[in-house]
Every structure is written in C-alpha cells, then in structure tokens.
Structure 1
Amino acid sequence: MRAVAVLAAELTKIRTVRSTGWTLTSGFVVCVGLAALVGLSFRNGPSDPQRYFDPLFATFYSLTLGQLALVAFAVLVVSGEYRSGTIRASLAAVPRRGLFYGGKLVAGALVVSVVSLVTVVVTFVVAQPALGPRKTSLGADGVPQAMVGAWLYLTLICLFAMGVAAMLRSSALSLGILIPLLLLNSQGLGNIPKVKTVAQFLPDQAGWVIMHLAGPPDDPRWARAYGPWTGLGIVALWAVAALVGGYLVLRRRDA
C-alpha cells in the first residue's frame, strides 16, 4: 500500500504542475502538425519508381522534433523538485529513497507511455491523407512494427532523460545536454560516415531503425550494424544505465 500511496503522490505532483500540460500538448502538436506538413511536401513529389521512398519516414520524421518536448517533460518530472527545493520535504515524507525514486519513475513512465501511444497513432492517421497516393496502411508490411517501435522508443528515451536528470539534479544542465544531443543527431550528424561509427549506438540513432528513419537499409550511408529490435534494445540499455546512475546519485548524495 505504501508504494501505491507514493505513486499516487507522484501522479498528483505531475498533474498539478502547470507546465506539464503545456509541455505534453506541445509535443503532441509538433508531432502531428509536422507529420501533416511533411506528408504534404512528399505528396506531389517525383514518382520515379527507381527512387527510394518510404512513407513511414515521412510519417514519423516529426517524432525527431516532437520528442524534445517529451524529454523536457521527463526532465522536469525528476529535477523540478531540486529546483524548487521541495525535494527535502519529499524525502522526509518518503525516506526510503528507492521507493521514492521508483514511484517517480513509474508515474513519469505511465504518463509518457499514454501520451506517446496517442501521439504515434494520431501522427500516423493524420500523415496518411497528407501523403495522398504515396500513403501506406496500418496492415502494410512493417507498419505495425514501426508503430510499436515508435511508441516504445518515445517511452524509453523519456526514461533515459529521467535517469540523466536524476544524475545531474538540474533541469538546465540536463536539457542543455539532451536537447543538443538529440537535435544534432536528428539533423543528420549521426549519418556522416566517420561520425556514424560511434553515433549509431547513441540512443536516438539506435531507435531510428525500427521507425524507418535511418534511411534505406541497403544504402551504406544509412546502414546500421544492427536490426530494428536490437536497436531498440540498445535504447533500453541506455535507459537502464541512466536510471541506475540516477538511483546511485540519489542514494549517495544529500538532497
């Protein structure tokens, strides 16, 4: 029952912070709105059968920018109490730091997973009419896997962000590292041959394969050293490492 009470308290904190709704809503709007715009831009593109085109790339490219708002939410869930100083009261109320940390993570993950699921589904639904004759369907080959992968990726990248925030204990510092990392990689730096050797194992790049954002797999410029589910496993390992690091910092340092 103690764990349930802690989880309820953390969900209440999330619900009552004004920035929560705005941050999550902005992420949803960016993903859905940009998907429609990207779809329209590809709608009347050249229909050369020799030219590679993947409708899932056009559908889910918007997630590379919309994820930034979700990451900001994840960071604020963890580090907001350090900024306001209420972390001392929270730890006094829940002295078992593992229980406190677990409740915060589960609460954040529940919210993010629901928002991510809705975002991915609506993004797909909105993008297809915008793509017109170049659209795909829910039953097409690879689409269910890409949708599930996109949902899991957004949830995992937010858990990774929560772990980073727990280690750094600062919203500004956490966002100052995470946003450039995710933004620069999404703008193609991770696909530069000499950079890709290392960058392909960074969390966002690893998650791209299952969402069809890494480009055609038979093109050496885009090819990865792993498959879609292995890539998602790499993202999960990053998330686990960050969360364990966050717990160790919380356990060993004073509030």
Structure 2
Amino acid sequence: HYMGQNFARAFDIKFLDPNNEQQHCFTTSWGLSTRFVGAMIMTHGDDKGLVLPPKLAPIQVVIVPIYKGDAERPAVVEAAAAIKQELAAHNLRVKLDDRDNLTPGFKFNEWELKGVPVRIEIGPRDLQNGTVMVGRRDIPGREGKQIMPRAGLAQRIAELLAEIQANLLEKATRFRDEHTTDVTSYDQLKDAIDTGFARGWWAGDRVDEERIQTETKATVRCIPLEQPGDSGTCFYTGKPATKVAIFGRSY
C-alpha cells in the first residue's frame, strides 16, 4: 500500500533531499515481515525444527562444552569461553551453553530445534589435540560434522557460515525449480498446480484469474521481473501475451 506522506507527517519522519533540505518521507506498507519469517521457516525447516540462514539467525554459532565431572569442567569451559570471545571479536553472533544441569545430547537437540547454523563441541580430548568438532545444522548427522583446528577458527567458521548460506539458497532454488512446470494450456495448469507452481504466458484479466481461482484455487503468485523478452500465447485466453506469470495456491 502506498501511504504517501501521511504517516511521515504524523510521526515527523524526514530525510535530506539532494538539495540538503528536510522533506517528509514517502512511505509504503508491504505487510511482508511476518510472512517472510513464515516462508523462511517453511522453506528451510526440517523434521528436527528450524534451519535458519546464517544472515538471519539471532545466534549463528553455539558452543557446547563436553566434560565428565567437576575435574574436567573448568579447563573445558574456559577454552569454550575463549572461543566465544574470539568469534565475537569477528562480529559473529555466538552463544556459550555452559549450563551444567543438562546433558550435551539435550543441548544438541535444543539448538537443532532452534535452528542455530553451527554448533561447536569441545572436550578434554579436543584440548589436547588443539581442535574442536563443528556441526552444520543444514547437513544433519555425521555428514555435517568436521574437525577443525583451534588456530584460525574464527575465519574458518565465518567461511563455513557463508557456505551454509549459499547451500540453503541453492537447495531452496533447486526445490522451487523442480516444482515449477511450464504450461501452454489450462488443462496443463490444472495438472501442474497439484505439485507446485505453473508458469505460462498470461494475457488474462481479473475475471479470468477469478475464474481460475474458483476452479483450481490457484492465483497469480507473481509476474517475474526477469521475462523471456519475446511474446507468446496466453495458455488460458489464447490471446497474444507479452508476460509470463507464475500461478500457485496459497495456504
């Protein structure tokens, strides 16, 4: 919704224009904030809980110290705290889970549920070897684990977070593309819409779209900014079309 300057005048929100003069802002409301959060959860989440992209995760890295008894605890927790300080100094959002009334397994499950992208485990053997065990939330199980040296850990974790971010985007894009079907007829749209998106040339009007929605529960979800550049025939009306539209059901 375009709100003009109404809210800006009411709340006295201003900006400096090219002439270095203060002007009230022109504002819009897209109503996207909570929808984006929901879409992110549905796109990346799995049966274990959230899978958060590192750039949006409130906590990017959680450190879980592992020890047996009070004798091992001080050295391990001290090393974990040092790692936290090192990562935080590199502008990473880090949580040290040093709660001593919970088992490591409970903590692992909790942080997996909350979608923290990276988990660092450190115990007495790691102290001796100068290493840590690092797990990725986007790759469950042993496949997502690797041993990293303590030296240069912050840089490696930063690179890993960037890799996770790219991997989540690639997986989501691949899933979307695999569930998008190009259609040239209305019957094809009816079949395609049960498994994902339908993409086709579109020259219909509001009445046409409402009729499609009544019959299939699908509507135009978007008209992509990137268009083929040529023209085609509308799959529904048979009229010449200059734009491709993507149809889908909303839930």
Q: Confirm or deny a common fold (TM above 0.5).
A: no
What TM-score comes out, normalization by structure 1 length? 0.26
Of Structure 1 and Structure 2, which has the larger fraction of its residues in helix? 1
Higher relative contact order (CA 8 A, sep 6+): 1
Of Structure 1 and Structure 2, which has the larger fraction of its residues in strand? 2
Higher Rg of the two aligned structures: 2
